Structure 1
Amino acid sequence: MLQHNAELKSKINQLWDKFWSGGISNPLTAIEQMTYLLFMKRLDELDLKKQVDAEWTNEPYKSKFEGKWVPPELRSTIPEDASEKEKNELRTSDEAKHGVDRRSLRWSEFNKKPAEQMLQHVQTKVFPFLKDLNGTESNFTHHMKNSVFIIPKPALLVEAVKTIDEIFVIMEKDAEQGQNFQDIQGDVYEFLLSEIASAGKNGQFRTPRHIIKLLAELVQPQLGHKICDPACGTGGFLLGGYQYVVTQLALKAGTKGLIPDEDGFIRTSVASTLTPDTQAILDTSLFGFDIDGTMVRLGLMNLMMHGISEPQIDYQDTLSKSFEEEGQYDIIMANPPFTGNIDKGDINERFHSGTTKSELLFMENIYHLLKKGGTAGVIIPQGVLTGSTAAFKYVRKLLLERCNLTAVITMPSGVFKPYAGVSTAIMIFTKVWSIEDKITKPATENVWFYNMLQDGYSLDDKRTKSNGYGDLQDIVNNYNSREEFESLDRDNSYFYVSREEIEEQGYDLSFNNYKKNIFNEVSYEKPIDIINKLLKLELGLTPNSDLSVIQGGLVKDLLELKGMICDK
C-alpha cells in the first residue's frame, strides 16, 4: 500500500509543493487540477495499451486519438431529418475547417512542447477535449461543463507534468512486482484526496478507507445491487462497494494471490475474470449525489480512475423538495454531513420528524431511498443515539419498527481526526415496511451492540498505524456470527438488547445504557499491618521479626502511632 512506498509518497508530496509554490494554495482547487493532469496521462496510457492488445488479439479497436476532433462550439447543427450523406458532409466540412489532430492531444505528444506552447495547447485544446471525452450526452461531460483549467504558469505545468511522469514510472515498477496497476493508481488518488486540508467545512469529513471497508463487509453488496450514497463527496463509499463486489467475484472465480491489507481486508479494484456483461452491470450499479459541484467532479474522477467507465454521480440536494426518488436502492452506504440545521422552507415534505437537523433528515431520507429488503450502513454522530427530543425519538422508532435495526457500533472519537473529534457510531438496518404500510409487527426483535475501542490507528491527530487491526476484524467476525451468542450477558464489548427493553428506555440506543457495569471487590490491608511492614523495612528486619524491643527515632514515632491505632 502507498504508506509503505516512501518513494511514491515523496513524489506526491513534491507535486503538492509545486502547486503550492506555483500559486495554487487552495487544496480543493489543487486536487482538481492534479486530477485533470492525471486523467490526461492515464487516458494516453490506457489507449496505447488497448492498441497493443488489439494488435495482439487481432480485435478491432479505434483509438480515441485517431482522426480529428472538432470542439463542440464549432460543430455544425445537424438537422434531425438530414440524411447520412448530409451528416457526413457536414462533419467532414467541420473537420476541414476546425479539426484538431487528435494525436497532438496525447500526453506523450504535448509533454515534449516548450513551456509556453504546452500551457497554451493544454488550455485551448487538450482540456476542452477532455471535457468532451464521453460525448455531449454523458454524465461526465455534463458535470465537466463548467470546469476550468487554471494552472497559471508555464513553469508549474512543466514541473507538474514531469513529476506525474515520474509517479507513473514508480507505479509501473510496483506493478511489475505483483500489485495491480489499477490498485496502485487508486491508492495514489486516494492519497491525494486524503491531503485535502479544508475537509470538514459544511460538516463534510472524508471517511477513512478502513472504515469504508468495514461498512462494506457489514452490508455486503452483491453484483446487480444498486448502490447509493446520497451525500457522496469524493465517492469513497461507492468505490468501497464496487471494490467489495469485484473482490467477491474474483474470490468466487478462484483468483489466487489476494492477501489481506494492513487493516485485515482482502480487496482488489479489478479482476481479470470479469466478463463484459459483468463489467457493464457494475458500471451501472453506482449512484451518488452531492450539493458541491467540485465534489461531484472529484467523485466522478475518483471512480473513473478505478476503472468505472461512467459513474452515475449527480449534483443534487437529496433533502430538498425537488428530489423525489423513493425505494430505488438495494444498498446505501453513507457518512452524511452533520451541518446542524437545514433551511426549513426547502425540506422535502415526506420527512415527518419535524426537525431541521441534517443528521436526522438524512436518516429519514436513507430509509425512503431504500427498497424493501434493502440494507443501509450509515455513520452518524452519537447524539442521534441518545437525543431526547421528539424528533430524535421519532427517527429511532422509525428504524426499530419499520426496519430491522441489526447493529449499532459505537466508535472512538479519534476516528475522524485530524478533521474532527466528534464521537460517531455505525448503524446497520434493513428496510422491512414502507412508510405507507400498516405495521402488523415491528421489524426489529433484537439489536446487536458493539463498542469499538480501537480502529487500528492512533486516536490522535497523527493517526499512526498501530500493530494489528484494532477491533475491525473482531467486529466483522462477531457480527457475522452474532446469532450464535444471543444471550443477555452484557459483560463483553458486544451483546444483544431486545426491542422491548429499548422501548422501555425511551428508544435510547447508546451502548453504555445497556452495558453491565462490573464492580470488583478490592480488599485493603489493615493500617496496623501496613505500619508493621514499614517498621521492618526501615530496620532491615525479616517479616517475622519482633518489634516490641525497638526504641528511638522514626521507629519510636511509628510505634507510638501503632499504639494509638491499637487503642482505637
Structure 2
Amino acid sequence: MLPAELKSQIDKVWNAFWTGGIANPVEVIEQITYLLFIRRLDDLHTLAENKANRTGDPIENGIFPVGNDDAARAPRPYNDLRWSVFANRAPDEMFEIVGQHVFPFLQQLGKVGSSYARNMKDARFTIPTQALLVKVVDLLNDIPMDDRDTKGDVYEYMLSKLATSGTNGQFRTPRHIIKLMVDMAAPTPTDTIIDPAAGTAGFLVMAGEYLREHHPEIFTDAATRAHFNGPAFTGYDSDAAMARIGSMNLLLHGVDNPTMERGDSLAEAHPQTDAYTLVLANPPFAGSLDFETTAKDLLEVVKTKKTELLFVALMLRLLKNGGRAAVIVPDGVLFGSSKAHTELRRILVEDHKLDAVVKLPSGVFKPYAGVSTAILFFTKTSSGGTDNVWFYDVQADGFSLDDKRTPLDAAVHEQDNLDDVLARWTSLSSTDSEELARPRTAQSFMVPKAEIVAQGFDLSLNRYQVIEHEVVVHRSPTEILTDLAALDAEVAGGLAALAVVVGTRA
C-alpha cells in the first residue's frame, strides 16, 4: 500500500499530462511507462557498471552500448540516452534526446523476433512540449523507485487510474481479486502460465510476485531462473497499447524476457494449444462476435458468439492435461440455458475436473461495470474427475460495493471474506477438512457431481445454497390492541394532569 504522500506525487504526474494536453488515460499510462522503463534501464546499466568496477571485468549485460561506434543502436553518444544524463540537460536538448534518440533506441533494444521487439516497434513519443517533458521527468525523479515492491506499487497505482471501461468489454481487475486467484492457484516454479486476455499483465505480474515470495529458491538455480525470466509467463491482448504496457509492466516487475504478444486469442492463430500448466484470466465479456473471425476448433467445442464461453473453451485447449485454470466469468456462464452454455458446463463437469465456483459480490468491478461475476477453478484432465464442487459465497471483499469502492475497516472480519476464502480452500487438501461436512446454509459448502448433473449442470450458487430464515413469533392482534389502549389511557392521563397544571398557573 502506497503512503498518501507518494500517491500525491503520482497524482501530480498524472495531472501534468492532463493539463499539458494529453487527456487519453491509456496514452498517459503509455508515456509514463516509457519514461519509467527508460529510468529502469539506466538503473540496470548502473548496477552492471558498479559490478564491473568492483571486479575489474568488462561490463556484463549492459543496456547501453559501451562506445560511440555503434551508430545503429546509439545515434548519439550512449551516455546521452541514459535517464541520469538527459534528465539534467536543458529543456530543448532533453526534448530532442528523448524524442529523436531514446525512443529509436528503445525500438531496437529487444532481441530480433522477441515479443518485446514486436511490441515496441510502434512505440511513439507523444509528449507535445519541452515544458511538459521537463515537468514530468522532474516529478518522476522525485518518486523513489529503488525498492522493487515500491516500484510495483507505484505502477499499480498508476494503472488504477484507468478508470474508464475499455472497448470490447474490457475492464481492469482489482488487484486484491487477482491476488486471491493467484494465491488459490498457487503457481509453482515449473509452471508455464498464460493469460489470453492479459491487458496490463496484472495476473502475470501477481504470479511472479507469488513465486518470488513462496519460492525464492528459483533465483539460486540457473535453469529455474531462466524459466522464470522467459517461458514461465505468456500474455496475449488484442490491443497494441495494452500489449506494450503489459510487456513493460512485467519488465518493471523483474521478469526479463516474458512473451507478451498482440493478438486475438479467439482467432484462428490463437496461442499454442496443450502448452501451458496454468491459466489466469479475466477475459472480456463483449457479448458476441462474428463467427468468421473465430477459430474453428473453438466453435467445434461450443458453437456460440459469446466471448466468455469461447474463452473458457480456449483455456481447455491451451492447458496440458493436469493443467489448471482460474478464470472470472459473468454469472450467465453459470446458469445460462442455451445449448452452448449447458454444453460448456457439461464439458467442465463430465470431461474434466471442476474444482470450485467462488461467487463474487456484484459491486466488485465498479465503477467499470456492475456485472455479477464468479471465479471458476478447474483442472484439465480429458478424462473426468469431478467428484464434488466447492462453492463459496463472497459477500464482502474489504471495499464498499458502490462506485467509490473505498476501503473498509480491516479490523471488522465480516467486511472482508478473502482471507477466509483462501483458508477454507487450502483446507480442502486435508482429509478431515471441515468443508466436507458444512451444511448448505453455510457460506461455503460442497455439492456432489451427481446433484449438479441432475440440475442440468447449473452452477449458480443459489441453486444449491439453503437460506435460513429466522423464525419470528408475532404477538396476537388482541394483545397488541390491549397494549395500545393502555398507552392511549396513559397519554390521556398525562394530558389531563398537564391541563390541571396549566390551569393553576393561568
Give me the TM-score of the superposition, normalised by structure 1: 0.81
| Structure 1 residue 274: Cα displacement | 4.1
Cα distance change on mapping 1:420 and 1:503 into 2, 3 Å: same
CA RMSD, Structure 1 to Structure 2 (Å): 2.2
| Structure 1 residue 227: Cα displacement | 0.4
1:296 maps to which of 243, 246, 249: 243
Are 1:449 and 2:371 an aligned pair?
no
Residue in 1 aligned with 2:4? 6
Alignment of 1:184-263 (within 5 A): 184-250=150-216
| Structure 1 residue 17: Cα displacement | 0.8
Q: Which has the larger radius of gyration?
A: 1
Distance (Å, rounded) in 2 between the aligned partners of 1:380 and 1:281? 30
Residue in 2 aligned with 1:328? 275
Distance (Å, rounded) in 2 between the aligned partners of 1:461 and 1:167? 29
1:140 maps to which of 116, 122, 135: 116
| Structure 1 residue 241: Cα displacement | 1.3
Helix, strand or coil: the match of 2:8? helix
Distance (Å, rounded) in 1 between the aligned partners of 2:371 and 2:469? 29
C-alpha offsets along residues 389-415 of structure 1, whole Å, 9 cap, x if unaligned?
Answer: 100001000100121101001101111
2:423 maps to which of 464, 474, 477: 477
Distance (Å, rounded) in 2 between the aligned partners of 1:324 and 1:104? 40
C-alpha offsets along residues 215-243 of structure 1, whole Å, 9 cap, x if unaligned?
Answer: 11111110011000111111011111111
Letter paired with 1:110 = F
C-alpha offsets along residues 255-312 of structure 1, whole Å, 9 cap, x if unaligned?
Answer: xxxxxxxxxxxxxxxx9x6444432120121011111111100000100000111111
Alignment of 1:30-429 (within 5 A): 30-56=28-54, 60-62=58-60, 63-65=62-64, 66-68=66-68, 70=70, 72=72, 99-168=75-144, 171=145, 181-250=147-216, 274-284=220-230, 285-323=232-270, 325-351=272-298, 352-429=301-378
Residue in 2 aligned with 1:522? 472
C-alpha offsets along residues 92-112 of structure 1, whole Å, 9 cap, x if unaligned?
Answer: xxxxxx853111111111122
| Structure 1 residue 326: Cα displacement | 1.6
Residue in 2 aligned with 1:508? 458
Distance (Å, rounded) in 2 between the aligned partners of 1:419 and 1:295? 17
Tell whether the 8 Å contact from 2:163 to 2:367 is kept in structure 1 after alignment. Answer: no
Tell whether the 8 Å contact from 1:115 to 1:158 is kept in structure 2 after alignment. Answer: yes
Letter paired with 2:199 = G
Distance (Å, rounded) in 1 between the aligned partners of 2:4 and 2:308? 39
| Structure 1 residue 525: Cα displacement | 1.4
| Structure 1 residue 183: Cα displacement | 0.8
C-alpha offsets along residues 454-483 of structure 1, whole Å, 9 cap, x if unaligned?
Answer: 011111111111122601011011111236
Helix, strand or coil: the match of 1:522? coil
Helix, strand or coil: the match of 2:215? helix
Distance (Å, rounded) in 2 between the aligned partners of 1:245 and 1:500? 37
Letter paired with 1:112 = N
Cα distance change on mapping 1:200 and 1:413 into 2, 3 Å: farther
Letter paired with 1:248 = H
| Structure 1 residue 521: Cα displacement | 2.5
Distance (Å, rounded) in 2 between the aligned partners of 1:21 and 1:191? 20
Letter paired with 1:521 = V
Helix, strand or coil: the match of 2:102? helix
Letter paired with 2:360 = M
Q: Unpaired segments of 5 or more residues in structure 1?
A: 76-97, 173-180, 254-270, 434-438, 542-549, 555-568
| Structure 1 residue 535: Cα displacement | 3.9
C-alpha offsets along residues 342-370 of structure 1, whole Å, 9 cap, x if unaligned?
Answer: 21012111122110110000010001111
Cα distance change on mapping 1:26 and 1:190 into 2, 3 Å: same
| Structure 1 residue 50: Cα displacement | 3.0
Q: Unpaired segments of 5 or more residues in structure 2?
A: 497-506
- The percentage of aligned residue pairs carrying the same residue is 41
Distance (Å, rounded) in 2 between the aligned partners of 1:110 and 1:210? 37
Distance (Å, rounded) in 1 between the aligned partners of 2:32 and 2:174? 21
Distance (Å, rounded) in 2 between the aligned partners of 1:349 and 1:51? 52
Residue in 1 aligned with 2:403? 461
Distance (Å, rounded) in 2 between the aligned partners of 1:108 and 1:225? 38
| Structure 1 residue 140: Cα displacement | 1.0
C-alpha offsets along residues 487-539 of structure 1, whole Å, 9 cap, x if unaligned?
Answer: 37201011111111111111110001111132332211122322333344455
Distance (Å, rounded) in 2 between the aligned partners of 1:371 and 1:214? 23
Distance (Å, rounded) in 1 between the aligned partners of 2:310 and 2:440? 32
Tell whether the 8 Å contact from 1:70 to 1:100 is kept in structure 2 after alignment. Answer: no
Residue in 2 aligned with 1:561? none
Moved more, 214-223 or 192-201: 192-201
Distance (Å, rounded) in 1 between the aligned partners of 2:114 and 2:57? 26
Helix, strand or coil: the match of 1:492? coil
Helix, strand or coil: the match of 1:224? coil
Distance (Å, rounded) in 2 between the aligned partners of 1:339 and 1:321? 18
C-alpha offsets along residues 104-161 of structure 1, whole Å, 9 cap, x if unaligned?
Answer: 1111111222212211121111111122223334321221111111111000001011
Distance (Å, rounded) in 2 between the aligned partners of 1:345 and 1:359? 17
Give me the TM-score of the superposition, normalised by structure 2: 0.91
